[in-house]
């Protein structure tokens, strides 16, 4: 097979950028594809060429097989890398690539089919001697059959999409009363995410760990495993922080799991990168599924082995042999990966959309950032809301964990809510530090118990820094106006607070977001960008430096301040202070009380409406289901009461904040 000279990446975001980085190192030209929502995205900017696929919705762009193939052919690409998600585990896509005379950087279509159905893969693994979790993987899919099977297995059970992954179409059911809704909801989500509503039922193993093994095969019959990753820290079956190697792993257990994973790959004549996932309960492990693609968390494996898995993929896809044998591989140190998402923990982790007006990552040794987003980019409603993966490598687990916490602390974001504070709280929690986490631990916790919120009350230093930032921005804006005016020396463009009958001063009015107290900082200008600041009852000397730093009372500080709209965020070592900039002469109308309105927490599509106007409902009862960012979100009754009016219907697309249900509490 010929070497790959030009590669099209049929994906977006951080994985597209990640693949491009290795391709560039190998001298391979890259082609990006994009939707209308991604026309200015980072992966488009990084590629040698880029081709539009269609509108923003993935179903009209990234999931259009014929459009992707056409883009590859029109640009003269030799091969297509699918990344993960989208078409990466679509056997029809792999067939179409081969039919077009192109190279698919992934496993054979037959292997994807064999492992794509969780139920069929269970049968294959049983024949290969890989241990399985007790469950049902049959063809009868009516709710009555699935309910009967679940009751026979015994609660709790796991209802999961046969064709899926990533926690979509998956529900833990702890009692019979919740079973029907869980089955129907999982079917809808499975159909929406994977185009296949088929489900399977498994015994839910409480307090088990999720440990997966990275495997690789080539077309010459060679197979290796690259050890294991622990992905037990999950929220609603979505991985949050992954690590490698797995804590507490013995060499005997590591060898057994590695051999089982390789046997699984051999059973389907696997080629390329794959991941075999297991549940680990005590010293017993059970096969969950095989992901026939590169995993989101592959960087931790790269960190502890010193290997580039994308390079391996491209070598194998070109017909080459694996570059190493099993005995050549060893583990060096420890690695963590934290997934940074645009989501609001205060609102049930609902995905967020908007512009990242301020984004700075830690730039320190041992830290790797995989991202498809830069400052000023937007998070779209159409796709997964991941911002970045923060990866660290250390000499051992304690060293790596310290680096992870430092890297998270030095990550500064403004303009959109994220789970950054949550990641810091989790990674600092004693249970996680001691590696006592299981797959259900995070869902049993409540965010406040983790101490994750890092917005701190205002102090004199932060107020002074915020005021200096505002004054400096005013000065820059005034200079720009003066340059455009034709009279740049006019006193009306001075920025020192000059007045005819007053020693020059400026007032900066702020509100601390925590207690909403109005705060005044008065600044009197001196020479050299120096100011005498009056902050409450305190007097502070401040100076703005040309390099962006400040001096407060003789102490030089490299500060980071984000100004978005009327909000100023001052970042510091222990978190951040957040202020609202306001004009005391601007009296805004009081907010209108929404009464009993239940509004859309995000833009999305109403998939099901469970009630009618006039219905009497109980607290917690499902009123409707909203689908957004490939996940279902239930809008439930906040109390016992009456649905007085419905303002939406099934199939309708709604915007963030619009009233969906008018509700009257009892």
Phi and psi at 613, nearest 5°, equal -60, 135
Burial class (CB in 10 A: 0-12, 13-18, 19+), 484: exposed
Q: Collapsing DSSP states into helix, strand and coil, what is residue 659? A: strand
Instruction: Please choose, from the candidates 241, 272, 223, 235, the residue with its C-alpha nearest in 3D space to the C-alpha of residue 103.
Output: 272
Q: How far apart are CA 639 and CA 486, in angstroms?
A: 64
Q: Is the peptide bond before 156 cis (omega within 30 degrees of 0)?
A: yes
Q: Where are the alpha helices (DSSP H) in 168-214?
A: 179-194
Going through 424-513 in order, the beta strands assigned E by DSSP cover 506-512
Cβ contacts of 373 within 8 Å, gap of 6 or more: 13, 14, 42, 356, 359, 379, 387, 388
538-544/550-552 β-pairing: antiparallel
Instruction: Reply yes or no on whether 293 is catalytic.
Output: yes
Q: Where are the alpha helices (DSSP H) in 60-174?
A: 65-75, 91-99, 109-116, 118-127, 143-153
Q: How far apart are CA 371 and CA 16, in angstroms?
A: 9
User: Which residue is catalytic, options 209, 293, 339, 576?
Assistant: 293
Give the CB-side neighbour count of residue 6, counting CA atoms within 13 A. 15
Q: How far apart are CA 228 and CA 242, in angstroms?
A: 11
Cβ contacts of 319 within 8 Å, gap of 6 or more: 1, 219
Instruction: Please choose, from the candidates 402, 375, 406, the residue with its C-alpha nearest in 3D space to the C-alpha of residue 388.
Output: 375
DSSP line for 16-80: HHHHHHHHHHTT-EEEEEEEGGGTT-HHHHHSSEEEEEESSSGGGTTT-HHHHHHHHHHHT-SEE
Rg of the chain, C-alpha, whole Å: 28
Q: How far apart are CA 239 and CA 426, in angstroms?
A: 13
Residues marked active site are found at 293
């Amino acid at each position: 097979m010929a070497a790959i000279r030009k590669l099209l990446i049929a994906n977006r975001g951080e994985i597209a950028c990640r693949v491009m980085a290795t391709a560039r190192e190998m001298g391979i030209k890259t082609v990006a594809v994009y939707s209308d929502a991604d026309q200015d995205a980072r992966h488009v900017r990084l590629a040698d060429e880029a081709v539009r696929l269609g509108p923003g919705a993935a179903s009209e762009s990234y999931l259009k097989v014929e459009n992707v193939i056409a883009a590859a052919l029109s640009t003269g690409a030799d091969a297509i890398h699918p990344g993960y998600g989208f078409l990466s585990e679509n056997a029809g896509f792999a067939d179409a690539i081969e039919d077009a005379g192109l190279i698919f950087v992934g496993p054979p279509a037959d292997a994807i089919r064999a492992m794509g159905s969780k139920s069929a893969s269970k049968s294959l693994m049983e024949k290969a001697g890989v241990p399985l979790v007790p469950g049902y993987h049959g063809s009868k899919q009516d709710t009555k059959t699935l309910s009967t099977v679940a009751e026979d297995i015994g609660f709790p059970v796991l209802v999961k999409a046969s064709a899926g992954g990533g926690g979509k179409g998956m529900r833990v059911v702890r009692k019979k009363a919740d079973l029907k809704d869980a089955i129907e909801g999982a079917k809808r989500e499975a159909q929406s995410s994977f185009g296949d509503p088929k489900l399977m039922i498994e015994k839910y193993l409480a307090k088990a760990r999720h440990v997966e093994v990275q495997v690789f095969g080539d077309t010459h019959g060679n197979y290796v495993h690259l050890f294991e990753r622990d992905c037990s820290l999950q929220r609603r079956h979505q991985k949050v922080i992954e690590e490698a190697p797995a804590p507490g792993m013995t060499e005997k257990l590591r060898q057994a799991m590695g051999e089982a994973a390789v046997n699984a790959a051999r059973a389907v004549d696997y080629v390329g990168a794959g991941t075999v996932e297991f549940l680990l309960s005590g010293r017993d492990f059970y096969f969950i599924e095989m992901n026939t693609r590169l995993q989101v968390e592959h960087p931790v494996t790269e960190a502890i082995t010193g290997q580039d898995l994308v390079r391996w993929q491209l070598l194998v896809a070109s017909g080459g042999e694996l570059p190493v044998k099993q005995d050549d591989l060893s583990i060096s140190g420890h690695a963590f990966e934290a997934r940074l998402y645009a989501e609001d923990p205060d609102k049930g982790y609902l995905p967020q959309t908007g512009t990242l007006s301020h984004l700075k990552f830690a730039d320190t040794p041992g830290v790797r950032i995989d991202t498809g987003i830069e400052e000023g980019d937007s998070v779209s409603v159409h796709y997964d809301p991941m911002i970045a993966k923060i990866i660290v490598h250390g000499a051992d687990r304690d060293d790596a964990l310290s680096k992870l916490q430092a890297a998270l602390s030095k990550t500064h974001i403004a303009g959109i809510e994220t789970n950054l504070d949550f990641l810091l709280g989790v990674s600092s929690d004693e249970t996680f530090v001691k590696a006592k986490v299981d797959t259900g631990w995070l869902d049993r916790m409540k965010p406040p118990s983790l101490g994750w919120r890092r917005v701190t009350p205002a102090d004199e230093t932060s107020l002074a820094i915020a005021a200096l930032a505002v004054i400096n921005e005013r000065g820059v804006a005034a200079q720009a106006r003066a340059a455009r005016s034709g009279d740049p020396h006019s006193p009306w463009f001075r920025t020192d607070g000059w007045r005819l009958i007053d020693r020059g001063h400026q007032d900066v009015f702020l509100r601390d977001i925590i207690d909403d107290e109005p705060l005044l900082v008065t600044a009197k200008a001196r020479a050299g960008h120096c100011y005498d600041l009056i902050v409450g009852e305190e007097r502070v000397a401040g100076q703005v430096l040309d390099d962006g730093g400040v001096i407060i009372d003789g102490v030089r500080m490299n500060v980071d301040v984000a100004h978005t709209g009327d909000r100023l965020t001052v970042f510091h070592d222990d978190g951040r202070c957040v202020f609202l900039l306001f004009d005391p002469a601007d009296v805004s109308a009081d907010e209108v009380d929404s009464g009993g309105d239940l509004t859309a927490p995000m833009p999305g599509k109403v998939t099901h409406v469970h009630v009618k106007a006039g219905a009497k409902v109980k607290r917690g009862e499902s009123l409707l289901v909203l689908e957004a960012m490939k996940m279902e979100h239930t809008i439930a009754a906040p109390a016992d009461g009456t649905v007085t009016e419905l303002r939406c219907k099934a199939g309708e697309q709604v915007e963030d904040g619009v009233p969906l249900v008018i509700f009257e509490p009892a």
